[in-house]
Chain A
């Protein structure tokens, strides 16, 4: 181990549903005296709580976990810490990692591989810390926690959302609780400033994503962007009425009225086979 790694204390959390998988990470971390394991979590819910409570510098995160997977958990964490993924086999995930420079460990992994991943992160951190010293706090803007912190994570999540597990649900946080919304429960999505408002029978939920993100990741045969600010679930449509010049109104089963622009009408007709 190089010297500078031992200096700064590091708070870490291990999130994996298999006890033995947590055990091996713990074992591999033992020689690193400066790394403290704050908590071990068996699922994503615990993980979110632990992250909020301990504000760790680094988490070891499994992808396949109960209820919400590793990616969904990350989506729900504000200002997520650095992540080293540990996973057995997930081609979507691997693709995601490879494209976005977050390190990942394929189970079973050996000590050397583990050390390499950890050292990479420690080095990055050390470099950033020294940058901060030489260039002042402004330089942080380019590191995590600054202006463009979400970029790699955002891109990672976008790629990961193409995995089959995530194609049939959206995970949101509402009043401290986590809600999993099956896609078929969604009536329509509405743009709301920096958020997207998800309308369902059980109420409305806000998700910190763009309309473009949902348009790209949702199944286009099921969800159509009928308007700059609206995406609707095709199976909810009961009627399409003309409305003003060149525009229409879509009436949903819930009674909600969703505006349809001229271009949106063309798309909608295509999907409905009209």
Chain B
């Protein structure tokens, strides 16, 4: 629940200062009308204290009940009633008190002449306080809601990113295990090596956090691990080539972004043709972007790669959107029998 503005030291000080100034003005005004200093002082202190108390009460009260838009008449109603009560209370206390001691009938007459002005002023002050309180609480509530919404969105986004990152193709895992199973009999050394590679790959998959961007060099190492496993699986059918400048290697990117793109290219290439397949991965830096292209062959006769995404790239597209709020970072290009996936990663995030 939103806290009352008066609970903050700063606002409490402003509130008190306001009443001091207002009290002083009223004293001056009353003296100006010919009232004795003492009478003016008592009158001013009492009536202003009553108004201040009412205002504090009103503001505090709204902490528990904030009228909705369609019930703003409630503010008017409560301000008017409070003002009337204050006015009556002032009269009930001040007139007997001051008439007896000091001025006799003169004060009673003054009070009865000035009640309308007093009411106006009290009503204005109470009304202002009511409106300020409504605005204050509304904005507090709004802020709280926004905060809650942001938190919920952030959590959902993180969960989704996590899920997208963890989407390990079961085909890959089970087929790799099957290859290992086959190797154990005839080439146990190689089987052991492959188990090591697969473990390293899985470990890399597990430990990475979305926020911790990694240098391209590290991603490429990780990719090599993956490619080595795939090469054992597919034997001579799969060949890969990585073309990357020295300057690219230090550029940073979100972890585990490259591997699914390459996996997609391998799948597309290997399952769309029966020949040997070469996958080419190129990286370059261009105006605050690191651009990575992954090229695979395909058969234009039988496959129709759709423009934009498709072919398993939608989860990468989604991830890029969640990370950068942009949909133009992933592109695909078809030239003859070559399919190229192009991903551009802005080099803005500080690691």
Contact = CB atoms under 8 A, between A and B. Distances in A.
A108 B233 contact: no
B185 interface: yes
A158 B280 CA distance: 38
Contacts of B234: 17-19
Q: How large is the interface on B (under 10, 10 to 19, 20 to 34, 35 or more residues)?
A: 20 to 34
Nearest to B277: A66
Nearest to A165: B271
A19 B182 CA distance: 9
B302 interface: yes
Interface string A49-82: 0000000000000001111000000000000000
B328 to A, nearest CB: 26
Contacts of B302: 67, 169, 180, 182
A40 interface: no
A45 interface: yes
Given A21-B178, A21-B179, A107-B175, A66 B235 contact: no
Nearest to B273: A66
A88 B271 contact: no
A21 B175 contact: yes
Contact of B271 (A20, A64, A89): A64
Contacts of B270: 17, 66
Nearest to B275: A66
B179 A18 contact: yes
A241 interface: no
Given A17-B234, A88-B174, A88-B175, A23 B271 contact: no
Contact of A107 (B177, B299, B304): B177
A271 interface: no
Nearest to B180: A108
Given A88-B175, A107-B174, A19 B235 contact: yes
Interface in B234-283: 234-235, 237, 270-274
Nearest to A25: B182
Contact of B174 (A65, A67, A89): A89
Contacts, number: 76
Contacts of A107: 174-175, 177-178
B171 A20 contact: no
Interface string A6-43: 00000000000111110110010000000000000011
B303 A182 contact: yes
A20 B179 contact: yes
Interface residues of A, number: 26
A29 to B, nearest CB: 13
Interface string B327-345: 0000000000000000000
Contact of B272 (A19, A20, A67): A67
A107 B182 CA distance: 11
Contacts of B273: 66-67
A117 B270 CA distance: 29
Interface in A98-137: 106-110
B34 interface: no
Nearest to B184: A24
A184 interface: yes
A106 B175 CA distance: 10
A27 B170 contact: no
B227 interface: no
Given A88-B174, A169-B302, A182-B304, A42 B274 contact: yes
Contact of A20 (B178, B237, B301): B178
Contacts of A23: 182, 186
**Which of the listed residues A45, A88, A110 has the most CB atoms from chain B within 10 Å of its own CB?**
A88
**Which of the listed residues B186, B232, B271 has the most CB atoms from chain A within 10 Å of its own CB?**
B271
Contacts of A20: 178-179, 182-183, 232-233, 235
Contacts of A27: 182, 185-186
Contacts of B232: 20
Interface of A: 17-21, 23-24, 27, 42-43, 45, 64-67, 88-89, 106-110, 169, 180, 182, 184
30 contacts: A17-B270, A18-B175, A18-B178, A18-B179, A18-B233, A18-B234, A20-B182, A23-B186, A24-B185, A27-B185, A45-B274, A64-B171, A64-B271, A66-B273, A66-B274, A67-B271, A67-B272, A67-B273, A88-B175, A88-B178, A89-B174, A107-B175, A107-B177, A107-B178, A108-B174, A108-B178, A108-B180, A169-B302, A182-B302, A182-B303
Given A18-B235, A88-B175, A109-B178, 10 more contacts: A21-B179, A23-B186, A24-B178, A89-B170, A89-B171, A108-B180, A108-B181, A110-B181, A182-B302, A182-B304
A-B interface, 3 closest residue pairs, ranked by CB to CB distance from nearest = A88-B174, A24-B182, A107-B178
